[in-house]
Copies of this chain bind each other. A is one copy, B any other.
Amino acid sequence: MAPANEITGETTAETKAAVESSHPISTLLIIIAMQTEALPLVTKFQLSEDTDESLFPKGVPWVRYHGTYKDLHINLVWPGKDPSLGVDSVGTISASLVTYASIQALKPDLIINAGTAGGFKAKGANVGDVYVASDAAFHDRRIPIPVFDLYGIGARRTFSTPNLVKDLNLKEGKLSTGDSLDMSPHDEAAISANDATVKDMEGAAVAYVADLLSVPAIFVKAVTDIVDGEKPTAEEFLQNLIAVTAALDQAVTQVVDYVNGKCLPDL
In the assembled complex, how far is the CB of residue A87 from the closest CB belonging to chain B, in whole angstroms?
5
Q: How far is the CA of A57 from the CA of B4 in the complex (A)?
A: 26
Overall SS of chain A's interface: loop
Q: Is A45 an interface residue (CB 8 A)?
A: no
Find the B residue at minimum CB distance from A60: B212
Contacts of A9 in B (CB 8 A): 83-84
Given A92-B93, A104-B57, does the pair A180, B141 have CB atoms closer than 8 Å? yes
**A238 interface contact, C-beta 8 A:** yes
Residues in B neighbouring A144, C-beta threshold 8 A:
181-182, 234
Given A96-B97, A214-B59, A85 contacting B7 (CB threshold 8 A): yes
CA distance in complex: A144, B183 (Å): 11
Contact of A151 (CB < 8 Å), options: B85, B97, B234: B85
Restricting to A143-198, which residues have a CB under 8 Å from any CB of B? 143-145, 147-148, 150-152, 178-182, 184-186
